[in-house]
Structure 1
Amino acid sequence: MVDRKAAAASPSPIRYVIDTNVLIHDPNALMNFEEHHVALPMTVLEELDKLKTGKHSVAAECRQAIRLIDKLLGSATPEQIEAGVPIARGKNAPKGTLSILVDHPDLNNILPSSVNDNKIINLAIELKRSSESKVVLVTKDINMRLKARAIGLDSEDYSSDQLVDDVDLLSNGFHHVTGSFWDNVAKVETRPDRKFTWHTVELVDPITALSVNEFILDDEGKVFWAKEVNGKYLLIQEFSKDELMSQEAWGLIPRDIYQALALKGLMDPDIHLVNLAGSAGSGKTILALAAAIEQTMVSKIYDKIIVTRSVQGLDEDIGFLPGTEAEKMEPWLGAISDNLEALHADDESSSGSIEYILQKVPLQFKSMNFMRGRSFQRSLIIVDECQNLTPHQMKTLITRAGNGSKVICLGNLAQIDTPYLSATSSGLTYLTERFKGFEYGTHLTLQGVPRSILAEYAEAHL
């Protein structure tokens, strides 16, 4: 994997040959190779050119990457571009170079040049032959890395924006304490108010990896929400398990303590970002939808609900579906309709209830393509299937939130459908790490599969 610190410590500059998918994953990737030389095959420019138009989600990334390349190359001559143009870095001195590799017809190709991946590998091999520096192919494509390895070319994944090496290291958003939480408290100062009981505590031993807005659960049924964390010193809100389990949103009551913790974050108006992870059937979508309807129809904290979803194939297929944007999105947002039905399953006429909700609730289905450049005020934005987003796409969506808005991100790292993404490089993982400690955000990984006995067994055994 491309590690900027390790690369920076290298005794001599490395020549990195960049694949197209790296620039789609991170359009600013060219700036992340420190003092090393970056080489772009002409094939990569051609692929970016083909992908820069259209309504698929990668078009904007391609255009951004092209603009950066144009800015870095500036008015350089063909000879300077071939040799390498210094990469300007604002007011700092240029560091590293950017060059373009041209596919000459007289190249001694090792792999058949009918495939673009092979063209890039051939150019990298040619560069290796003619260069005294180490040459490394950087690509998100595992199979391309395998082909490169097979013919003796060093290759790496791009992971400059990868914050963890193992998703097991990600916080669940809660910490279990054996016995009573109070057994680990050296000093306490209690301050009740009308809504909550607040404690400022000094712990005997600090809770490992505890961050702001994470929950603490003990064996005596007490639950605490950490609002300030400074080593052994905590400011916490205290709840009882029964209090949390009795919460209700649009008739929905949590089935377990983890759903109750999630609902607490979803319903708190001071929390602007809720990040819910968990396996299929753990209740992410139905909790988010119930909380959204409750806060738009009853408490009227928000004016509308915006629902979008990342699905591999969505961007290409949506253009061929008939109807308006909402009608085109409907087949892809079946999970929302299914959960609306579940919320009203006990009604005398569930279909009539759903029609009423769809008429009365300001619920809008949006394609991710139409989210760019927008700013949603006083809106509750639900982003489903976040595990399929790149970190750059995740940033694009989160920044759509305007004044008085809340974003709810849902995802399952075990069900990634996007090529070149893994659990560690997913935008959902990136979001979880980057917002750890954000005082207006909370993250929770739901446990178990309350959907059904069958779903729980399938999640564990298939």
Structure 2
Amino acid sequence: MAKKNYVLDTNVLIENPKCITALRNGQENNVYVPYTVLTELDKLKKDQRIGHVVTQAIHTILNDPELNIFPPVTSHEDKDLSPDDRILKEISDNTLENPILVTNDRILQIKTRLYEIDCEGYRDSMPFRSDSQLFTGFTDEGETPVRNSFQWENGTPVFWGDDGPKPMGYTHEVWGVKPRSVYQNLAMELMLNPDLNLVSIQSEAGYGKTFLALACALYLALEKKDNNCDKVYLVKPIWEIGAKMGFLPGDVEEKMQPYVRYVHDLAIKLHEQRPANRIFLDSGSDRLRFNQKKFEILPIAYIRGMNLENCVVIIDEMQNMSRNETRALLTRMGEGVKCICLGDTRQVDNPYLNESNNGLNWVVKKLKGYKGYGHMVLKGERSRGPITDMVLKSGL
């Protein structure tokens, strides 16, 4: 069977940077990229919304020696053409046998008829994903496992740490909390693993990342005897959704209360499952308040200058932190610290950040594979309730 000659349009490379490998299918077909597509990628790499995906596409092209690139159009008249028309002209100018333009641009698909060029859409497109979404915490079967990642073997997840493979044939239970899915169990494995100082958890709303992190934090700070953790800090960047609330009176805890009410409610829920008297000032009071010596909630601005030691630090909504804030915060961590980073890069409220340029994504991008670091994407069929389930499944 003769090889097919596929020519890629810009939109296909952006929608799935792995399309080159898929279309080549080993050595079965040839893949070409017009020079005009490179020009368009060069312009789009500065787009804050899709810049991270464009960078992936450029990286794929750069590291593929078998990829063919059409030379640019040379005549002055051709340079005045639209990008789509230049792509068609470049295909026509090359003596390529039966070229097939792969594009999801409907207008360009129509134009190919005038040039008598075969055309196909590319159906295996991916949504724009950040590094924290693409790296799920699993390594594909047959690939060398990433340090501190999981790999499926005969239906059982296996953890690949520095001590070698460890089959996860058991289920965690801490502070009365049992995981509702295999992914929650694996996330708890990372948070409870004494060899991991830093753990990041990515998930959409409702998959229990904050509840699991609090349960593990209470266990590490109040129950586990063979570590030096004796306090829990919860750090959160403050970015309001919708109308601003304006000035709030009171001390730090009172000012933070509207933003972290859910943390207070989750802590009380855990306290009702199993008493956590030491984190409250008066555990018998009708209005429970946190004991600052054992459980402290801080805005990120208060961390500067601090030296955190022998504690569990939960960083919530980390996708709303900048790279500089993330660096400043993580470099405050001293000896005996377990740091758990939580967030969802699809829910960036900070107007100066985006899905790829945010604290959570930078942590995954830069620390993946390091000793002492692990990452997990929580997912499953059940979230916090039926309405949330419907929203997540519908893609609202």
TM-score, with structure 1 as normaliser: 0.51
1:454 alignment partner in structure 2: 387
8 A Cα contact 1:283 1:450, kept in partner: yes
Describe the superposition over 1:233-268 as per-residue Cα deviations: whole angstroms up to 9, x where unpaired. xx6232243x1x2x1111111111111111011111
8 A Cα contact 1:344 1:353, kept in partner: no
8 A Cα contact 1:290 1:343, kept in partner: yes
Aligned counterparts, 1:236-315, within 5 A:
236-241=164-169, 243=170, 245=171, 247-300=172-225, 301=227, 302-313=229-240
SS of equivalent to 1:366: strand
- 1:368 is displaced (CA, Å) by 1.0
Whether 1:330 and 2:294 are equivalent positions in the alignment is no
8 A Cα contact 2:312 2:337, kept in partner: yes
Describe the superposition over 1:110-156 as per-residue Cα deviations: whole angstroms up to 9, x where unpaired. xxxxxxxxxxxxxxxxxxxxxxxxxxxxxxxxxxxxxxxxxxxxxxx
8 A Cα contact 1:308 1:366, kept in partner: yes
* Aligned-partner Cα distance in 2 for 1:277–1:446: 6
8 A Cα contact 2:234 2:314, kept in partner: yes
- 1:273 is displaced (CA, Å) by 0.3
Whether 1:421 and 2:345 are equivalent positions in the alignment is no
Describe the superposition over 1:190-221 as per-residue Cα deviations: whole angstroms up to 9, x where unpaired. xxxxxxxxxxxxxxx434xx31100112343x
* Aligned-partner Cα distance in 1 for 2:273–2:290: 17
* Aligned-partner Cα distance in 2 for 1:318–1:398: 29
SS of equivalent to 1:328: helix
2:138 alignment partner in structure 1: 174
* Aligned-partner Cα distance in 2 for 1:417–1:383: 16
Whether 1:440 and 2:372 are equivalent positions in the alignment is yes
* Aligned-partner Cα distance in 1 for 2:284–2:178: 22
The count of corresponding residues between Structure 1 and Structure 2 is 259
SS of equivalent to 1:331: coil
2:247 to 316, 320, 330: 320
8 A Cα contact 2:240 2:349, kept in partner: no
1:345/1:379 Cα in 2 relative to 1: closer, same or farther (>3 Å)? closer
2:88 alignment partner in structure 1: none
8 A Cα contact 1:173 1:445, kept in partner: yes
Letter in 2 for 1:170: L
Aligned counterparts, 1:371-450, within 5 A:
371-448=303-380, 449-450=382-383
1:370 to 302, 308, 320: 302
1:410/1:326 Cα in 2 relative to 1: closer, same or farther (>3 Å)? same
SS of equivalent to 1:306: strand
2:148 to 201, 213, 217: 213
Greater RCO between the two (CA within 8 Å, min separation 6)?
2
- 1:327 is displaced (CA, Å) by 1.9
1:258/1:352 Cα in 2 relative to 1: closer, same or farther (>3 Å)? farther
Residue identity over aligned pairs, in percent, reads 30
* Aligned-partner Cα distance in 2 for 1:429–1:379: 24
Describe the superposition over 1:334-374 as per-residue Cα deviations: whole angstroms up to 9, x where unpaired. 221122233245579x9959967944970001111111111
* Aligned-partner Cα distance in 1 for 2:200–2:248: 31
- 1:170 is displaced (CA, Å) by 2.8
Which structure has greater strand proportion?
A: 1
SS of equivalent to 2:257: helix
- 1:457 is displaced (CA, Å) by 1.2
8 A Cα contact 1:318 1:329, kept in partner: no
Letter in 1 for 2:366: R
* Aligned-partner Cα distance in 2 for 1:308–1:419: 20
2:10 alignment partner in structure 1: none
SS of equivalent to 2:314: strand
1:353/1:278 Cα in 2 relative to 1: closer, same or farther (>3 Å)? farther
Letter in 2 for 1:303: D
1:226 alignment partner in structure 2: 160
- 1:224 is displaced (CA, Å) by 1.5
TM-score, with structure 2 as normaliser: 0.59
Describe the superposition over 1:307-346 as per-residue Cα deviations: whole angstroms up to 9, x where unpaired. 11112149xx799322221221122112211222332455
- 1:376 is displaced (CA, Å) by 0.8
Aligned counterparts, 1:9-408, within 5 A:
166-167=129-130, 170-175=134-139, 177=141, 205-207=142-144, 210-220=145-155, 222-228=156-162, 236-241=164-169, 243=170, 245=171, 247-300=172-225, 301=227, 302-313=229-240, 320-344=247-271, 358-359=290-291, 362-408=294-340
8 A Cα contact 2:139 2:146, kept in partner: no
Describe the superposition over 1:279-315 as per-residue Cα deviations: whole angstroms up to 9, x where unpaired. 101111001100000111111531111111112149x
8 A Cα contact 2:348 2:355, kept in partner: yes
* Aligned-partner Cα distance in 2 for 1:425–1:357: 36
1:42 alignment partner in structure 2: none
8 A Cα contact 1:285 1:335, kept in partner: no
8 A Cα contact 2:175 2:273, kept in partner: no
8 A Cα contact 2:238 2:299, kept in partner: no
1:451/1:392 Cα in 2 relative to 1: closer, same or farther (>3 Å)? same
- 1:176 is displaced (CA, Å) by 5.6
- 1:431 is displaced (CA, Å) by 0.6
